[in-house]
Amino acid sequence: MKTPTSFSTLTLLGLGLAGWLFGMPIPTVPAADSGSASRKTSPGLRMLEELQTVITDLAEEAKPSVVSIFPVQAAGRSREAGERVPNSTGSGSGVIVDAVGHIITNNHVVGDATEVEVRLSDKTKLFAQVIGKDPDTDLAVLKVTTDHPLPAARFGDSSGVKVGQWVLAVGNPFGLDRTVTLGVVSGIGRENINLSRYENFIQTDASINPGNSGGPLFDLRGDIIGINTAIINFAQGIGFAIPSNMAKQVMNQLINKGKVVRAWLGVGLQPLTLDLASKFGVDENEGVLVNEVFERDPAALAGIRPGDVITKVDGALVDTPNKLSRLVAALDPGSMAIVEVVRDGKRMNLNVALSERRDAVVTASLPQSRSDFKLGIDVQDLTAGLAEKFRLNESRGVLISKVESGSLAQAEGLREGDLIKEVNRADTGTVGEFTIAVAKVKRGDTILLRVLREGRAFYVVLKPSDH
């Protein structure tokens, strides 16, 4: 696609639109003999018309690359019939990304299908093979075969996307082919939406409806800056798109390898609350807390320990577990990464030789923190029978045998069967050691516990009350 107009022109047009929208004075040429002549010569009106032309030209250039996608029966299907999957909710959109027929869409649009029906802008119907899927980012790549080049869109650089910039979403909502909606980027770097493993969404108010999934989000230059993936049903005007840089990286791996290979660090993580940050000598949200290090994995071999706070990976700041996961996943297995950690108040850089991420890795769960509580637990030494009962592969530790209702411990998410391994960074293998460690806590101080639950570790900060 060609660039519709220059940035400076768009800026001027935007100023003209702002004046029109918000009541700011828009200069006009002195009126002629009639009101009609005055409107025709108004610079403000001319700017709006030019802006309108930019948008309509962009829409016309963008639409041919957008396709409708319908999963078809996996077995017992006639190609001529093109029978769609019964009760399928997977129909959606996609965008052609090269002239030879590669199409990117959402994984949830494709579902379990190995072949889908694709309808082009000229109403041509083709069958596309699913050449790769990545549930972790909700992306899939298809391939159609034709005897002529297809109209393709190009990827832009999503790292330059800014809140407030204008975007166009193109798709097929409710079966309405190649619907175009205009809006702005209303947020970037959105995560914790619980839609996929690696979340870094672009949020937009450009209308995205059922059927838009998998369609492109364009900037005003006609470049793809995102792949539309989700809406919030109860929040009108909020939609999310996968950034184009992530989509392009995943697409290239699916085309070249048939799967996505990601690097693996080998740690369990949790975010830093204010209380945890204070205990570990860092600022809140400055890094993420390592609560578990898996044996013989890269982090363990490099010397990373539970209680370390990871603050950077190859110089990139880390402020959430999701951010760390994305940074590591973007690296190649076998490559070296420089991981900055804070340990006992000291910063150090560790060289980590990354391995390939294993499937079905479970990250540690963690309770949320509160600032006003009391302890409220009974503890006992761990026995072989208790270890088996609570699925603990441990021989030593202090088992929580009771959690008082309404207590501090209950509020922090502790429960019967949790195994306390550390108190204020000191190993605690027996009730006696636990009692001594707790007795050292001064009035007003907090207690940092490292806890195991069903083989997974997490940290909890408790503030014991005076009664």
Percent helix / strand / coil, the chain, rounded to 5 = 25, 30, 45
For residue 369, being part of any structural domain is answered with: no
Structure confidence at residue 76 as a pLDDT band (50, 70, 90): very low
pLDDT, tens only, 408-455: 788 888 988 899 999 888 888 888 788 778 877 777 778 889 999 877
Examine the domain organization and report whether 233 and 316 are in the same domain.
no
pLDDT, tens only, 288-331: 999 888 888 899 999 999 999 999 999 999 988 888 988 998 89
For residue 365, being part of any structural domain is answered with: no
Least confident of 92-96, 219-223, 334-338, 358-362: 358-362
Return the bridge partners of 226, or none.
217, 243
Confidence (pLDDT) at 179? 80
Examine the domain organization and report whether 122 and 203 are in the same domain.
yes
CATH at residue 397: 2.30.42.10
Q: What is the DSSP letter of 72?
A: B
Examine the domain organization and report whether 86 and 164 are in the same domain.
yes
β-strand pairing of 288-293 with 223-231: unpaired
Residue 84, pLDDT > 70, answer: no
Confidence (pLDDT) at 198? 81
Examine the domain organization and report whether 202 and 104 are in the same domain.
yes
What average pLDDT score do residues 231-239 get? Answer: 66
Residue 74, pLDDT > 50, answer: no
Examine the domain organization and report whether 383 and 304 are in the same domain.
no
Q: What is the DSSP letter of 254?
A: H
For residue 167, being part of any structural domain is answered with: yes
For residue 456, being part of any structural domain is answered with: yes
Confidence (pLDDT) at 237? 67
Nearest to 369, CA basis, from 445, 458, 438: 458
Residue 34, pLDDT > 70, answer: no
Confidence (pLDDT) at 100? 92
Q: Contact at 8 Å (CB) between 27 and 244? A: no
Structure confidence at residue 217 as a pLDDT band (50, 70, 90): very high
Continuous segment of H or E residues that includes residue 411: helix 408-411
Structure confidence at residue 18 as a pLDDT band (50, 70, 90): very low
Share of the chain above pLDDT 90, in %: 29
Examine the domain organization and report whether 346 and 219 are in the same domain.
no
Confidence (pLDDT) at 466? 54
Residue 363, pLDDT > 60, answer: no
Amino acid letter for position 16: G
Catalytic position from the list 213, 244, 325, 407: 213
Helices (H), 88-238: 107-110
Structure confidence at residue 360 as a pLDDT band (50, 70, 90): very low
Is 108 annotated as catalytic?
Answer: yes
Domain interval for residue 414: 377-462
Q: What is the DSSP letter of 84?
A: B
Examine the domain organization and report whether 440 and 307 are in the same domain.
no
Is 335 annotated as catalytic?
Answer: no
Catalytic position from the list 91, 93, 102, 108: 108
Confidence (pLDDT) at 205? 85
Structure confidence at residue 39 as a pLDDT band (50, 70, 90): low
Last residue in a domain, options 236, 260, 284? 260
Residue 361, pLDDT > 50, answer: no
For residue 48, being part of any structural domain is answered with: yes
Confidence (pLDDT) at 434? 84
CA 195 to CA 201: how far, in whole Å? 10
Confidence (pLDDT) at 358? 67
CA 397 to CA 383: how far, in whole Å? 9
Last residue in a domain, options 197, 230, 260? 260
Examine the domain organization and report whether 188 and 234 are in the same domain.
yes
Examine the domain organization and report whether 164 and 226 are in the same domain.
yes
Examine the domain organization and report whether 131 and 241 are in the same domain.
yes
For residue 441, being part of any structural domain is answered with: yes
Residue 239, pLDDT > 80, answer: yes
Is 213 annotated as catalytic?
Answer: yes
For residue 467, being part of any structural domain is answered with: no
For residue 363, being part of any structural domain is answered with: no
Catalytic position from the list 134, 138, 219, 223: 138
Provide the mean pLDDT of the chain: 79
Return the bridge partners of 102, or none.
143
Residue 245, pLDDT > 70, answer: yes
CATH at residue 132: 2.40.10.120
Residue 246, pLDDT > 80, answer: yes
Q: How far is CA 16 from CA 7, 20, 47, 58, 182, in A?
A: 14, 6, 6, 19, 17
Structural domains in the chain (count): 4
Confidence (pLDDT) at 236? 63
Examine the domain organization and report whether 125 and 253 are in the same domain.
yes
Q: CA angle, corner 98, sides to 231 and 330, nearest 5?
A: 60
Examine the domain organization and report whether 174 and 231 are in the same domain.
yes
Structure confidence at residue 235 as a pLDDT band (50, 70, 90): low
